[in-house]
Structure 1
Amino acid sequence: MTGMRWPLVPLGEVAPLVRRPLVVEPEGKYREIGIRSHGKGVFHKLPVSGLELGDKRVYRICPGDLLFNIVFAWEGAVALAGVGEEGMIGSHRFLTCVVDRERADASFLRHFFTTPTGLAHLLASSPGGAGRNRTLGLAGLSRIPVPLPPLDDQRRIVARLDAVSARLKACAETTERQEAELAAMLQQAFARITAGSPRARMADVAPLVRRPIEVEPDGQYPELGIRSFGRGPFHKPSLSGLDAGSKRLFRIEPGDLVFNIVFAWEGAVAIARPEDAGRVGSHRFLTCVADQTRVSAEILRFWFLSREGLAALGQASPGGAGRNRTLGLDALSRIEVPIPSLDAQAWFEALHARASNLRALHAAAADDAAALVPAMLHQTFSPAAC
């Protein structure tokens, strides 16, 4: 069917807007829906009482409704109500279109609105600025032209897309389970090599090393950032010398164990990679250099991201939450870290490297999988077909 041009009909002709206003009882209990952007479906908000809803206008949702969040429809806040949405409500910001089942398949229309063509129509029908200033107009929505191949063909297309999505979901769940098993295995292995091992202060095995640089007004200084929760380093845009002003900058070298002192307590710890060479950090980024004759940076990084290590960083970061918790230089230097034997360290690092390679394969497969359904949608709803 993708080689043929499908007829186009206004959405309002096959899926008109239907409103089911609900009278709110003060003693009643109600549960509202929400719609995630980017075609990620419906979610359920916490139950509220009629008193909490007050004079808010709400409407009943029914299974099979084609749903649009008028504020974020332009970025794919489109979904299909299922049996789980029976009895739920939505505010005036949620439009419910009831599909004529003799002419159109609701899932087919939902898929269309997640394609670049469908999103472009929703964007054009949502005048205004970005974010909450862009609102989908009711009249504009009803006029959007939607492709309408024969109903049997619509159902076949939906069945094929849903089957692929189901397989991808099953694969993602398997990968998630494997990732959890990998993490547990590494934690157990690390616990074995560090059990009973001697301890040493950071100052003795991985002292702080500062490499201040002289900032030139016409220079460019690419910065390095560290994500929280052990998610590694990332590259910030370059900072010009003029923008840097009196800001102190320090050179970061590959192999450095880097701490973001503002968020170290939540795992903003990483090892600088070869591709991070030449990057700089402000005074908020501490670089420690491990004495390789005693302990590797990877062993230290793994420990600092363990429950015990994070607790130690938390104790060394006094203050309140967020930016009020700052890792102290002296406190970091006094933290005592486990020092397993070099043979045990080498064994663990080899194990960790194999796990990292497996995770890289998982990530590549996930990227390929994430591109599969959009590619199928593009092929199905290509301009030649629509």
Structure 2
Amino acid sequence: MTAWPKVSIGDLLRRSDEPAEIDAAVEYHEVTIKLWGKGIVSRGKVRGSDVVSARNVVRHNQLILSKIDARNGAIGMVPPELDGAIVSNDFPSFEFRDPGRCNPAFIGWLVRSAPFVELCRSASEGTTNRVRIKEERFLAQEIALPPLSHQHAIAASLDALTDKIRQVEAHLDAADAASADLLLSLHHQHAAGRSVRLGDVMDLHEVDEPITPAGTYPQVGVRGFGGGLFAKAAISGTDTTYRAFHKLYEGAIVLSQVKGWEGALARCPADLAGWFVSPEYRTFRCRPDRAHSEYLGEIVRTQWFWQKLQDATRGVGARRERTRPEQFLNIEMTMPSLDDQRRIVEVLRRMSPLKERHDAIRQANAALLPATLERIFTEPQ
């Protein structure tokens, strides 16, 4: 098969500088760009009277990038719902010179690929924390551009693949929701109205590890919405301003003070015991004669519990205050007896192999699209 011809980005795109005429009485969507090809989204609406510096207008199917984070995949096509949104000069936008030469959907997929992100890195320069993409260098970069008919076919195939991935995720979400419903049904049935305060069944228990310059500390993060704990890269004692980390132990309930209200809390499994979290994460230990850590580890992953956390903190959305340990321990909730907790844990353990298979499918599903993009836009055509 003949290789796709090479063209410079500047042959396909030109800078769009449409100044925004701001009306003080009108609200405008402000645009932000998610990293790693996750899309162009609205940062929220701003009233014209609150816009204090010059803005440009972006249009549907323009390419837009972040000068600072294009090297981290902050680049994409403007979706139709953000046509007419406004951006600062840190988000230059580009329009097609000849719409008949490029399929915007194809370019939208191309810029999400790892090879294109690497291209953006090579077009960026600067010192640490001040690396920015250089527009002239970016437009001079070359890409392989197939015939228009191939572009349409590739975009359609990737659209279809994405739809299949969404269907699989929806199926897994439904199965997980059914599992959570079963857990809560058993929880309320066996609790029979018995209510406890969390502080009566668990305690704040933190194992502090003083940080030394020569030390190395493998880190753990907490995903929101019940996503659990995950391992992060280790950092050295010279790379942090904290004086101490909290050392994890098996069974600890780990709470993000910042995002706990949206489900960023989880039970520490055995394989992450001995790892570390920053002081922004608080750890709680179940009283063994009153609460089963595996049981509470499942309960805190439910939306039912997240609502209780939201009720325990003040504020709205990103302005919600941190969840303090005393707020967490003051939550009141129904709770089965310890013997019933153990029985429910046995039911959950029998379901564990199915959940593990679902997790494996999710991981494979998440890797499918990036791998496909890399294959299409890296291998010789």
Could you say which residue in structure 2 is the equivalent of 1:275?
271
Q: Which runs of 5+ in 1 are unaligned?
A: none
Match of 2:376 among 375, 380, 383: 380
Distance in structure 1 (CA, Å) of the matches to 2:85 and 2:112:
24
Q: Is the contact between residue 32 and residue 89 of structure 1 (CA under 8 Å) also seen in structure 2?
A: yes
| 1:88-103 equivalent positions in 2, closer than 5 A | 88-92=85-89, 93-98=91-96, 100-103=98-101
Could you say which residue in structure 1 is the equivalent of 2:357?
361
Q: 1:107: which partner in 2?
A: 105
Would the aligned equivalents of 1:257 and 1:289 in 2 still touch at CA under 8 Å? no
Report deviation, 1:42.
1.4
Asked if 1:16 corresponds to 2:23, the answer is no
Whether 2:190 is the aligned partner of 1:193: answer yes
Tell me the residue number matched to 1:42. Answer: 40
CA–CA distance in structure 2, aligned partners of residues 151 and 200 of structure 1 = 64
Deviation at 1:6, TM superposition (A): 1.4
Q: Residue 195 of structure 1 aligns to which amino acid in structure 2?
A: A
Contact 1:39–1:76 (CA<8 Å) still a contact in 2? yes
1:170 aligns with 2:167: yes
Structure-1 separation of matches of 2:138 and 2:68:
13
Q: Deviations over 1:308-354 (max 9, x none)?
A: 9967x969xxxx9548x3459xx979x99845373x44441133224
Q: Is the 1:105–1:154 contact (alpha carbons within 8 Å) kept by the matching residues of 2? A: yes
The answer as to 2:71 corresponding to 1:74 is yes
Task: Give 1 or 2: higher strand fraction.
Answer: 2
Task: State the TM-score, normalizing by the size of structure 2.
Answer: 0.74
Listed as ranges, the matches of 1:279-358 within 5 Å are 285=283, 287-288=285-286, 290-291=288-289, 296-302=292-298, 307=305, 322=322, 325-327=324-326, 338-340=335-337, 342=339, 344-358=340-354
Q: Give, in whole Å, the separation in 2 of the partners of 1:137 and 1:250.
A: 43
* Alignment correspondent of 1:144: 141
Specify the SS of the correspondent of 1:33.
strand
The higher radius of gyration belongs to 1
Q: Deviations over 1:236-263 (max 9, x none)?
A: 85999xx9xx9799894x5x45567978
Give the paired residue count: 363
1:50-97 deviation line (CA, Å, top 9, x unaligned) = 3222341323x2222122222221111121123222332322223222
- In the aligned structure 2, how far is the partner of 1:127 from the partner of 1:38? 19
User: For residues 136 and 97 of structure 1, do their structure 2 counterparts lie closer, same or farther at Cα, with a shift above 3 Å needed?
Assistant: farther
Provide the C-alpha distance between the structure 2 equivalents of 1:281 and 1:90, rounded to a whole number of angstroms: 36
Is 1:153 aligned to 2:138, yes or no? no
* CA gap 1:349/1:146 in 2 versus in 1, 3 angstroms: same
Residue 70 of structure 1 contacts residue 95 of structure 1 at CA under 8 Å; is this kept in 2? Answer: no
Output the CA distance in 2 between the equivalents of 1:351 and 1:276: 24
Deviates more, 1:193-202 or 1:6-15: 193-202
Q: Normalising by the residue count of structure 1, what TM-score does the alignment of the two structures yield?
A: 0.73
| CA distance in structure 2 between the aligned counterparts of 1:234 and 1:227, rounded to whole angstroms | 6
**How do 1:197-216 and structure 2 match up within 5 A?**
none
Deviation at 1:147, TM superposition (A): 0.9
> In structure 1, the residue corresponding to 2:133 is in which secondary structure?
coil
Q: CA deviation at 1:369?
A: 1.2
**SS of corresponding position for 1:149:** coil
Which residue of structure 1 lines up, in the alignment, with residue 122 of structure 2?
Answer: 124
Separation in structure 1 between the aligned mates of residue 178 and residue 277 of structure 2, nearest angstrom: 35
Q: CA deviation at 1:39?
A: 1.0
Q: C-alpha separation between the residues in 2 aligned to 1:33 and 1:94?
A: 11
Query: Of 80, 83, 87, which residue of structure 2 is paired with 1:83?
Result: 80
Measure the CA separation in 2 of the matches of 1:212 and 1:35: 38
- Asked whether the equivalents of residues 217 and 276 of structure 2 are also in contact (C-alpha less than 8 Å), the reply is yes
Structure 1 SS opposite 2:3: coil
Instruction: Compute the displacement of 1:209 (Å).
Output: 9.4
Determine the structure 2 residue equivalent to 1:56: 54
Structure 2 Cα separation of the partners of residues 153 and 352 of structure 1: 49
Whole-Å separation in 2 of the counterparts to 1:6 and 1:248: 52
Alpha-carbon distance in structure 1 between the residues aligned to 2:266 and 2:184? 17
Instruction: Please tell me the residue identity of whatever aligns with 2:358.
Output: H
| Mean CA deviation greater in 9-18 or 263-272 | 263-272
Unmatched tracts of structure 2, length 5 or more: 314-319
SS at match of 2:44: coil
* Cα displacement (A) at 1:169: 1.8
- Asked if 2 retains the 8 angstrom alpha-carbon contact of 1:18 and 1:98, the reply is no
